[in-house]
Structure 1
Amino acid sequence: MNGSVLIVEDEEKLSSLLHDYLSQSGFETHRLRNGLDVVPWVRERNPDLILLDLMLPGRDGLEICKEIRSFSSVPIIMTTARVEEIDRLLGLELGADDYICKPFSPREVVARVKAVLRRTDGGTTIKASGLTLDELRLRAVLNDRDLELTAVEFKLLQFLAANPGRIYSRQQLMDRIYPDERIVSDRTIDSHIKKLRRKIAVATPDEELIHSVYGVGYKFER
């Protein structure tokens, strides 16, 4: 099996279709329809990835995503028919790793699931100046404090920390975080960096690790 995927979708036909395609691709799938059931299920079962619809009965997908991020870094792909930029950006700011706009093809969903799992898989560990990045567990520890990063935040920090002092443009960071070459805005990277800085500041309130280089991009430096 390629891993377990929780499908949270209240449209029965679409949920069934996603189940069929993911199962055929070697994934163990589970399905929920009501937003109120999601967080307790995730706490108990810990899936490898969640396909989370934005508009659900019982509870909104963005609220669910935010609560899950308070205790888990499980990859989350949001599915939505609301295509306004603010919804997309808000979903990513709350910790989603990707989003897919409806209508979509089931094959596209399978490809996105595999891409996100590839980005969040691996076993590299980086240790430097009080910072430990464990890629296998997607765990970042700074000054003995778990930063509780999302998968995307972890990838950003890992990439920057592996190349200290080197400046990367937003485009270079987007190419690294989104290797499937989809188009995302500069604001997406800025939003991830902003949230990552807030989490780092909890562990090192008097020191900034990710520095902005005006007109160029970002670098990691202690």
Structure 2
Amino acid sequence: MPAPLPQAFFARPAEQVAPDLIGCLLVKRQPDGDLLWGAIVETEAYSQDDPACHGYRRRTPSNETLFGEPGRFYVYVSYGIHHCVNVVTHRADWANGVLLRGVALPHEPERVAAGPALLARRFGIDRQHDAQPADPEAGLWLAARPPGWTALEPSDLVQTTRIGISQGQDLPWRWYLRASRSVSKRARGDRTPARADALGVAALPMGF
């Protein structure tokens, strides 16, 4: 079973955690005990002093989780339809978090989880997971990059502006894996790579 990332990993500003999550795993235990998992290939950072952050204006019952302890999931509904999955970062009483925008799953279509709504749908994540700790005991967690993977270099990532927001568009707080074809939207001029499964996701055994 993939070991979870420790809380200390998340107890840092979102803009530090977001790029470090690339290549880490999102893991969910299914009702039959099997594990559904994939490699995170795209993230975005949000902070309370950022106008695009849900906690920018005020603390409310709907965004309360974002002000909580780091290492918990913050799940909200976008446009009243789509769920979006975030992990809370930095410290309590300061709205801070990382949106999971894209995941590459082994032996599945490249774009089955390319985008926040598709990601939440594929993993069956909704508001009932809000405020839940990222922990195997809770059945949904984030795990470190698997053994045997080469450490990602800064050049392996693309850092660019966030998308789908009306404020704070100039902040370069979106990161994605350059070699992945499971990214929701590439930066202008960055061509989609020809090679699929550049991380070797499909070759990883379930019990790594």
Output the TM-score relative to the length of structure 2: 0.30
Q: Which has the higher contact order (CA 8 A, sep 6+)?
A: 2
Larger radius of gyration: 1
